[in-house]
Amino acid sequence: MAKVQIPQEENATLGGIRKVMYAPSEDGRFTRHNYGSSVEEFATKVAVQEYEKLESEALRRIADKEGSAVAYFMYKNRMDLPTLASVTGLFQFQIKRHCKYRVFVKLKDKTLQKYADAFNITVAQLKGCNDAPGV
């Protein structure tokens, strides 16, 4: 009978929960076991950090007057282009344009409101971030 190792490592990303998996017990019958895996922890952390990296890059681009607050908040909310397009009802190519500084500053409040709703913030906050990134 094949044996299965049940990892009992720390996984800080789960905030104290331990997930379950199926594995054979002593008698060979499958039952549920709690486990913690550092492999999972690492994979999740990389994904979280990737968004953090994208966020800080977006902030830098705003400061350089290249990027806009749309990109920053998109990453802050862990979204990608298709997700944001679906939430706002805009096309992906529009959002790509709105991620540029010079396009963003000309956007109407109506469009900005769509983004603000998607990010659960106010239009003022969205504009504010574009004027003074990182504050």
Question: Which pair of tokens denotes residue 44?
Answer: 């999740």
Size of the site for other proteins (CB under 8 A): 42
In contact, 35 and 19? CB cutoff 8 Å: yes
Task: Tell me the C-alpha distance between 22 and 33, whole Å.
Answer: 6
Q: How far is the CB of 66 from other proteins (least distance, A)?
A: 20
In contact, 95 and 28? CB cutoff 8 Å: no
Say which residues have a Cβ less than 8 Å from residue 5's Cβ, sequence separation at least 6. none
Q: How far is the CB of 87 from other proteins (least distance, A)?
A: 5
In contact, 51 and 78? CB cutoff 8 Å: yes
Of 58, 59, 71, 79, the residue at the interface with other proteins (CB under 8 A) is: 79
Q: How far is the CB of 50 from other proteins (least distance, A)?
A: 6
Site string for other proteins, 26-65 (x = CB under 8 A): ---xx-x-xx-x-xx-xxxxxxx-x---------------
Does position 105 interact with other proteins (CB under 8 A)? The reply is no
Q: How far is the CB of 40 from other proteins (least distance, A)?
A: 4
Task: Tell me the C-alpha distance between 92 and 84, whole Å.
Answer: 8
Does position 15 interact with other proteins (CB under 8 A)? The reply is yes
